[in-house]
């Protein structure tokens, strides 16, 4: 069920052979916006240097520092930069060396679509 024709964006390719001209809309648009916020570091967009979050800056730290740091960055980034969603919780776990996964539980602000959604984001150092 789409939220509204206003809620859409170009689909980010997940695979090398993915079509470049597809769009996501509705809940998929919101989930993609959450992934973008989580994976885009602050200062990476010159016109909006404070936009997004610094979750990736924590992935080389010990889990006792990394997990709460990643959780806080994701929570603050989504709360500030994606006003269309309400967060329920952010769960972060370490899956390997410099590899964490965040499960983000959220719902759209619309009363019609009030079921909690979950978006999983893998955070790891690019090689």
Is it the case that residue 3 has pLDDT exceeding 70? Answer: no
Is residue 29 over pLDDT 90?
A: no
Tell me whether residue 63 is in a domain: yes
The answer to the question of residue 48 being in a domain is: yes
Total domain count, the chain: 1
Strand partners, 99: 96, 124
In a domain, 100, yes or no: yes
Is pLDDT above 90 for 4? Answer: no
As a whole number, mean pLDDT of residues 95-108 equals 93
Please report whether residue 54 resides in a domain. yes
Rounded to two decimals, what is the model's pTM?
Answer: 0.76
> Distance between CA 34 and CA 28 in Å, rounded?
10
Is residue 56 within a helix (H) or strand (E), and if so which, with residue range?
none
| 67 domain-assigned | yes
Q: Is-contact 123 66, C-beta < 8 A? A: no
98 conformational bin, left if phi > 0, alpha if psi -120 to 50, beta if neither: left
Structure confidence at residue 109 (pLDDT): 84
The boundaries of the domain holding residue 53 are: 22-124
Tally of CA atoms within 13 A in the half-sphere of 34 that contains its CB: 27
Per-residue pLDDT, 115:
58
Average pLDDT rounded to a whole number, residues 31-40: 93
CATH of the domain at 77: 3.10.450.40
Residue 101 phi, psi dihedral angles, 5° rounding: -130, 140
- Tell me which DSSP letter residue 46 carries: T
Residue 16 is assigned to a structural domain of this protein? no
55-90: per-residue pLDDT in tens? 999 999 999 999 999 999 999 999 999 988 999 999
CA distance 28 to 1: 10
- Does the residue 86 lie in any domain? yes
pLDDT given for residue 1 in this prediction: 41
Q: For residue 53, what pLDDT band results from cuts at 50, 70 and 90?
A: very high
């Amino acid at each position: 069920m789409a939220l509204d024709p206003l809620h859409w964006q170009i689909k980010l390719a997940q695979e090398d052979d993915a079509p470049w001209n597809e769009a996501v809309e509705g809940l998929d648009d919101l989930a993609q916006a959450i992934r973008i916020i989580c994976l885009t570091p602050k200062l990476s967009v010159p016109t909006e240097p404070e936009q997004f979050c610094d979750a990736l800056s924590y992935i080389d730290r010990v889990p006792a520092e990394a997990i709460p740091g990643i959780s806080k960055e994701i929570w603050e980034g989504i709360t500030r930069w994606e006003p269309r969603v309400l967060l329920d919780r952010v769960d972060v776990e370490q899956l390997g060396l410099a590899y964490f996964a965040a499960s983000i539980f959220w719902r759209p602000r619309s009363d019609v679509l009030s079921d909690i959604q979950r978006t999983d984001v893998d955070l790891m150092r690019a090689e």
